[in-house]
């Protein structure tokens, strides 16, 4: 399963890079407003990875409640 995730990750990254190149050919994005819009989208994606990159969605939550060792 890890090999499948690695292959899908590589395909997604290459697809995003190709989409960014094709998207940059648009004349609207060559204006200062377009550059600012691209900067905002990149900042949004970067902050998303920084803030939520540690979250794993495939882990099952434990069914038992761990007792706090400080409260005895």
* 26-13-36-40 Cα dihedral, nearest 10 degrees: 140
pLDDT reading at 42 higher than 80: yes
* pTM of structure: 0.46
Q: Which domain holds residue 35?
A: 2-52
* Contact by Cβ (8 Å): 34, 26: yes
**Per the domain annotation, does 18 fall within a domain?**
yes
**Per the domain annotation, does 31 fall within a domain?**
yes
The structural domain count of the chain equals: 1
**Per the domain annotation, does 64 fall within a domain?**
no
Query: pLDDT digits over 8-25, tens only?
Result: 888 988 998 888 788 778
Block residue for tokens 């099952």: 60
């Amino acid at each position: 399963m890890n090999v499948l995730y690695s292959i899908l990750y590589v395909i997604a990254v290459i697809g995003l890079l190709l989409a960014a190149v094709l998207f940059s050919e648009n004349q609207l994005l060559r204006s200062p407003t377009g550059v600012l819009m691209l900067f905002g989208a990149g900042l949004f994606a970067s902050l998303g990875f920084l803030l939520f990159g540690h979250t794993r969605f495939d882990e099952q939550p434990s069914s038992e409640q761990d007792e706090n060792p400080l409260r005895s």
